[in-house]
Structure 1
Amino acid sequence: MLNNQKIKKMHKLALYESGEGKKHLAISNYYRSDYIGLALIKNFFLTTIAYGLLLLIYFGYRSEYLMENIHKMNLALMALQIIGLYIIMVVGYSILTYIYCSVKYAKAQKGIQEYYKGLTQMKKAYDREERRNGRITGRRTKA
């Protein structure tokens, strides 16, 4: 006989597994420090590329002014400003990435714990049913 509670529980677990759980299971394969470290490495490279593109756009837009006034500019100060802005941008995005990934990892761990709790409940329900069916048919079950 079909048990509506078991069907609902299985449906809920299957929905989680095929939706949000797919991402959570992928995240839970990593240790927290490894997951955040990998995200910070990606962040460093992507921020560097983005900053380089921003510099290209800025220098492309201001190229005429730069060509006319390059002999009047303090290039060492300009280089320090460029490097300083780069460091500020990398540090800022790294802090945001760390916070975002920490929250995301914690949420994934919580979801996975609930998922495993549901699986344990399903296993217990099947074990109870198996013991009950074993008694009804007169078979002995292994303990």
Structure 2
Amino acid sequence: MLNEQKIKKMRKLATYESGKGRKQLRISKYYRSDYIGLSLIKNFFLTTIAYGLLLLVYFGSKSDYLMDNINQIDVVALGVKVILFYLVMIAGYSIITYVYCSVKYRQAQEGVEEYYQELSQLKKMYDREETKAGKAAKRRKA
């Protein structure tokens, strides 16, 4: 016999698993510190690549000026500015990544917790049905 409540619950669970639950279930497999740490490592490499590309574009656009004034440029001061800007960029994006991943992890934990509650409710429905079927079978035997 079909139970509409079970069907609705299973459909809700399947929709979650195939939608936003796919990412949330993957995120929830990590410890919070591991998830955020991995994201920060990715952030470091991606920010470094982006910074390198920005430097190439900037110095490429200023190449005429650099070639004309190569002897008058204070290379040490320029190097210090480049490194300071890099450190500021890394720090800024790391803070943004940390906050973003913390919020994302918390939302994933809440979503997965709700998913597991729904799953346990579905299991209770099956258990109740099973005990009813077992009692009915015992009555028939008696």
**Shorter-chain TM-score category?**
over 0.9
Amino acid in the other structure paired with 2:47 = T
Q: Which residue of 1 aligns with 2:68?
A: 68
Q: Taking structure 2 as the reference length, what is the TM-score of the superposition?
A: 0.95
SS in structure 1 of the partner of residue 17 of structure 2:
helix
Counterpart in 2 of 1:26?
26
2-side partners of 1:106 and 1:39: how far apart?
A: 15
C-alpha distance in 1, partners of 2:136/2:26?
A: 42
What is the Cα deviation at residue 2 of structure 1?
Answer: 1.0
Distance 2:29 2:4 in 1: 33
Cα deviation, residue 87, structure 1: 0.3
Unaligned stretches of 5+ residues in structure 2: none
Secondary structure of 2:30's counterpart equals coil
- Aligned counterpart, 1:130: 130
Deviation at 1:110, TM superposition (A): 0.4
Which residue in the other structure is 1:81 paired with? 81
Following superposition, the deviation at residue 38 of structure 1 comes to 0.4
Give the C-alpha shift of residue 72 in structure 1.
Answer: 1.2
1:59 corresponds to: 59
| Root mean square deviation of aligned Cα | 0.9
Which residues of structure 1 form unaligned runs of 5+?
none
Secondary structure (helix, strand or coil) at the match of 1:138 reads helix
TM-score (norm 1): 0.95
Q: CA deviation at 1:14?
A: 0.5
CA distance in 1, matches of 2:115, 2:93: 32
Q: Which runs of 4+ in 1 moved over 6 A?
A: none
